[in-house]
A = this chain, B = another copy of it.
Amino acid sequence: MAASRLSDIAKRAGVSIAAVSIALNDRNTTRVSAAKRDLIYKIAEELSYSPNELAKALAEKRSRLLGLVVPMRDPIFFNQFIAQALSGIQSTLMRRGYNLLIFSPSGRPGRTTRDQILESRFTDGLLFINTRSCSARDINETIHELNEAKIRFAMMNSYYGRAPVNYVGVDDAAIGEAAIRYLVQRGHKRIAFLSGESTLPTHIHLLQGLRRAMIDFGLELKPEHIGCTHYDQTQAFSIMDAWFARKKDRPTAIFAADDTLLVHIYDYMEARRLSAPGDVAILARANSANAGGLRPRPTAFFIPVFEMGQLAADMVIDAIEKPERPPQRVLLPFTFSAGNTT
C-alpha cells in the first residue's frame, strides 16, 4: 500500500538499485544498457513510481527549496506588497528550478521567528521580507543567528545596518531628495512629511534625503512638519489638523512615506473637504500595486517590488550555488509617475 521505491523497481527488473537510479535520472545514459533501461522505465510506469524527494535531497545535500520568512502579524497573503514580492520571487524560482517553502508563523507566544527558522532546515536558503514590524535590532540579531547557524539568506526591503549581507532594497534617501527637488521646482517651500515610526529604516533614510535636499535649496524641513505615526488614521488626522490649523504656516505640499499614509491623506482630504493639488499638493513614495487604484491618481515615486523579489531570490540562490561569492547589496532604482495630486 505504500508508495513504491527504487528497490521495488530493482527487484522486479532484476537489476541493482544503482542501475535504476542512474537510468531514471538520465534517459540517455550509456551506463545502463538500452534493454535494461527500457525495462526499468516500463516497471517504473507500472508501479507509478515517484521518487522520494526527501531521500534525494538528503543524499544530494540540497533540496532546491527556498524558505520564506515574513515577520508580520497579519495574514501575509492579503498584503499587496507581499503579493508583488512573492510574484517576483516565484518568477526567479521558476527560472532556476526551486520551490518555495512558506513557514507558518508559530502560535506559541514564547517562540520567536528566529528559533523557528533555525529549526526548519528543510531549505537550501532563506529569504526575508522585512516589514514595518522589524526593528533594526531584531534584524541584526536575526543576521547574527543565521550566520552562526551557517544558513544562507538574503533580505529585501528596509534593512538598516552595515553587516555584509545579501540585501536588495530601494534608495530611500534618493527618493527623499527627488521628492524635494520635484516639489521645490514646482514652487513649494513649506513641505510636510507624513511618515511611520521614527525608528524605521525607511523613515530614517527618507528623512535624510529630504533634509539634505532642503538644505541644498536653502530651505528647512520644520520639525513640526515631520509627522510620525503608528500607521493609525486618527493619529494621522490629528497631525494634519495641526498642520492646517494655522493659515500662515500651513504646508503647501505633503510627502507621504508609503501607501498606508497616502490613503490616510486621501481620507483626510475627503473628510475635511480639501482637494489636491488645489488646497495642498500630495506626493508619495508608494507601491504601485497598492496605490495604482487610487483616484485621483497620486503623483508618486514607485518602488519596484516585483523586481526586488526577483533579485532577492536570485541572491539567495547565488549564495547557495556559489558560496564563495561575497554578499551583494543592491539598491534598485525607483520610478516616478506624475499623477493629478501635484
Residues of A within 8 A of B (CB): 1-3, 48, 50-55, 57-58, 63, 65, 75-78, 82-84, 86-87, 90-91, 93-95, 97-107, 118-122, 145, 148-151, 289
Q: 6 other contacts beyond A50-B149, A75-B87, A77-B83, with CB at 8 A cut-off?
A: A48-B149, A54-B57, A76-B90, A78-B83, A78-B87, A101-B101
A255 to chain B, nearest CB (A): 27
A184 to B210, CA, bound (A): 62
Tell me whether B51 and A2 are in contact (CB under 8 A): no
Copies of this chain assembled into the complex: 2
Q: A54-B58, A118-B50, A149-B3 are in contact. Are A106 and B94 (CB under 8 A)?
A: yes
Chain B residue with the shortest CB-CB distance to A52: B121
A86 to B93, CA, bound (A): 19
A and B contact pairs by CB, cutoff 8 A, 7 listed: A50-B121, A50-B151, A75-B87, A75-B91, A77-B90, A95-B107, A100-B104
Q: A48-B149, A100-B101, A100-B102 are in contact. Are A120 and B53 (CB under 8 A)?
A: yes
A77 to chain B, nearest CB (A): 4
Tell me whether A3 and B122 are in contact (CB under 8 A): no
Q: A1-B150, A3-B150 are in contact. Are A99 and B104 (CB under 8 A)?
A: yes
A66 to chain B, nearest CB (A): 10
Residues of B within 8 A of A106 (CB): 94
A15 to chain B, nearest CB (A): 22
Tell me whether B53 and A121 are in contact (CB under 8 A): yes
